Amino acid sequence: MQIHTISTQLFAGQKPGTSGLRKQVQVFQQAHYLENFVQAIFDTLEGYAGKTLVLGGDGRYYNRNAIQTILKMAAANGFGRVLVGHNGLLSTPAVSAVIRQYQAFGGIVLSASHNPGGPEGDFGIKYNISNGGPAPEKITEAIYARTQSIRSYKILAADDLDLARLGTVQVADMQVEVIDSVTDYAKLMESLFDFDRINQMFKSGAFQMRFDAMHAITGPYAKAILEQRLGAAGMLLNCTPLEDFGGGHPDPNLTYAKDLVDILFGADAPQFGAASDGDGDRNMILGAHCFVTPSDSLAVLAANAHLVPGYKDGLAGIARSMPTSAAADRVAAALGIDCFETPTGWKFFGNLLDAGKATLCGEESFGTGSNHVREKDGLWAVLFWLNILAVRQQSVGQILREHWARFGRNFYSRHDYEAVPSEGANRLIDSLRNRFGILPGQRFGDYEIEFADDFSYTDPVDQSFTQQQGIRIGFVGGSRMVFRLSGTGTAGATLRLYLESYSADSATHNLDAQVALADLIKIAEELAGIRQHTGRDQPTVIT
């Protein structure tokens, strides 16, 4: 088999965002576009000759083509072995688990996560390092720089491989091992959670749940673990991965997982509901007539971790992204452990996890995880909740109310204005930035601005510095709002507004978050001129 060196032209904009390179499928379908980026990844890495690469994706449209191309390029560039998911499928947390288990050099994840799929949808690619986590900024910036100077790429002239057959085949000097997508991940889950106890809960017949895989990658994992191993028979929805996710947005939130939300808020609601996203790293947690914000979920998991076998010896620390509410901080304070505040994106948790400074991590964007892998992990969060429910024998709502009674409630909401014109969104951010000096002291009804700044972060492990990670406006008394532009969208800009206020008073805890935050929402609109800059008078998605 022959290695070809193909000359290529440069593509502008191959800059990884919050989580890898995400573009419309049509962009990826341009000749050499994917190859350029993959070669830029390989050119940036050192010392991988003869080593193992893990490869898999969420099964969205273009996954099948991209996998074959990357296999041939890995062989041409000198990798010794590729572990590839059955039919090219691996969830993001499974890629992370497999990299760690087999001590691979790194991995490539093919996914645009919660973005819609299909020929008209999005595709994405992300490189993960040997700890199993997303490449840190130092590497993603080097990859981007390389895309700007690359002249050619190397690819093996070979037939496509049959990825439907498990086992090992030789491709030139490289081995390709097609592995079962679920086995290693399922074993890891079994080592962390009390499967027998969860199984008992389902067997009792009194416990009902609904898990919605949203026609995405967690389907096969949920079938194997929840249904076959734990006995949640007949409780799973949309478990066949489809290339276009059935036309939906595989984004587990109140808007895009509406079918599930309707079931949990309907008559005869089951006790527990959950959903995961396109690539299986997000989770949404629901109880009967009750929605658990991801920020609260992180706090509840932390406060109850001692009930779960994998975490019973205590937590080293908790880490949350800056826009995530401070609910977890209160638990950390009670446990006497550190709580770290990082920029948005899982890559910022890697060092803290590797250094043993944090055990649990979370983001308000439906991301929760721990040191078991280096990605957020949707099904892991579902199993964690099931384990807590099996031990405490209480409803999700009761657990949440007791949590608030003990720690107080951080009312929280995120308002997304999706696909607004980039120019207006940038103007909005610039205009806030230009007013940092004059905002403190300004009053809006009962609220007085205490500070206004741009969030920056110095990694406590390697001192790497990151700036302009979201505009924070804090009010006297602790309420706050954050404005950020998304780094994962592919059309225009997406403005995210994060709102938070705290109440220790149990009498207020049953309030709807939108009601509790109504004043702040109005102030945000006025302060930032959302209507004027985006042309929108309401958000696309409220969570």
The site for ligand VG1 (CB under 6 A) is made up of 18-19, 113-114, 277, 281-282, 321, 344-346, 363, 365, 367, 486-488, 496
Query: Is residue 387 within 8 Å of 307, Cβ to Cβ?
Result: yes
State the Cα–Cα distance between residues 291 and 287, nearest whole angstrom: 6
Q: Which is nearer to ligand VG1, 127 or 153 (CB)?
A: 127
Contacts of 12 (CB under 8 A, 6+ apart): none
Q: Which is nearer to ligand VG1, 194 or 416 (CB)?
A: 416
281 lies in the site for Co ion, by CB under 5 A: yes
State the Cα–Cα distance between residues 287 and 361, nearest whole angstrom: 22
Q: Which is nearer to ligand VG1, 52 or 469 (CB)?
A: 469
How many residues are given for the chain?
A: 543
* Cβ 358 to Co ion shortest distance, Å: 20
Q: Which is nearer to Co ion, 113 or 297 (CB)?
A: 113
* Cβ 406 to ligand VG1 shortest distance, Å: 27
181 is catalytic: no
377 lies in the site for Co ion, by CB under 5 A: no
Out of Co ion, ligand VG1, none, what residue 44 binds, judged by CB under 5 to 8 A for its kind, is none
Q: Which is nearer to ligand VG1, 146 or 249 (CB)?
A: 249
Out of Co ion, ligand VG1, none, what residue 368 binds, judged by CB under 5 to 8 A for its kind, is none
Nearest to 231 by CA among 216, 214, 209, 246: 209
The phi, psi pair for 228, rounded to 5°, reads -75, -40
State the Cα–Cα distance between residues 169 and 192, nearest whole angstrom: 33
* Cβ 10 to ligand VG1 shortest distance, Å: 25
Q: Which is nearer to ligand VG1, 35 or 122 (CB)?
A: 122
Question: Going along 19-121, which residue ranges are E strands?
Answer: 21-24, 52-57, 81-89, 106-110
181 lies in the site for Co ion, by CB under 5 A: no
The footprint of Co ion on residues 106-135 (CB under 5 A) is: 113
Angle between helices 396-407 and 378-392 (to 10 degrees): 90
Task: Please identify which residue in 212, 277, 296, 459 interacts with Co ion, judged by CB under 5 A.
Answer: 277
Nearest to 319 by CA among 483, 460, 486: 460
Angle CA 307–313–316, to nearest 5: 110
91 lies in the site for Co ion, by CB under 5 A: no
Nearest to 284 by CA among 211, 360, 372, 373: 211
DSSP 8-class letter at 507: G
Out of ligand VG1, Co ion, none, what residue 345 binds, judged by CB under 5 to 8 A for its kind, is ligand VG1
Name the residue with tokens 């998991």. 301
Q: Which is nearer to ligand VG1, 60 or 114 (CB)?
A: 114
Out of Co ion, ligand VG1, none, what residue 346 binds, judged by CB under 5 to 8 A for its kind, is ligand VG1
Instruction: Tell me whether strands 106-110 and 52-57 are parallel, antiparallel or unpaired.
Output: parallel
* Cβ 231 to Co ion shortest distance, Å: 27
279 lies in the site for Co ion, by CB under 5 A: yes
Q: Which of 19, 91, 111, 113 is catalytic?
A: 113
* Cβ 60 to ligand VG1 shortest distance, Å: 12
The footprint of Co ion on residues 30-89 (CB under 5 A) is: none
Per CB under 5 A, the segment of 145-153, 271-279, 293-301, 524-532 that binds Co ion is 271-279
The residue nearest Co ion at its CB is 113
Name the residue with tokens 């308002």. 415
* Cβ 72 to ligand VG1 shortest distance, Å: 26
Out of ligand VG1, Co ion, none, what residue 365 binds, judged by CB under 5 to 8 A for its kind, is ligand VG1
Name the residue with tokens 């996890």. 353
Nearest to 222 by CA among 232, 270, 263: 232
Other beta carbons less than 10 A from residue 411's beta carbon: 25
Residue 541 bridge partners (DSSP): 416
Question: Residue 450 burial by CB count (10 A; 0-12/13-18/19+): exposed, middle or buried?
Answer: middle
Amino acid in the structure at residue 209: M
* Cβ 367 to ligand VG1 shortest distance, Å: 6
The phi, psi pair for 255, rounded to 5°, reads -85, -50
The residue nearest ligand VG1 at its CB is 113
251 lies in the site for Co ion, by CB under 5 A: no
Q: Which is nearer to Co ion, 56 or 424 (CB)?
A: 56
* Cβ 488 to ligand VG1 shortest distance, Å: 3
Tell me which residues are annotated as active site. 113
Footprint on this chain of Co ion (rule: CB under 5 A)? 113, 277, 279, 281-282
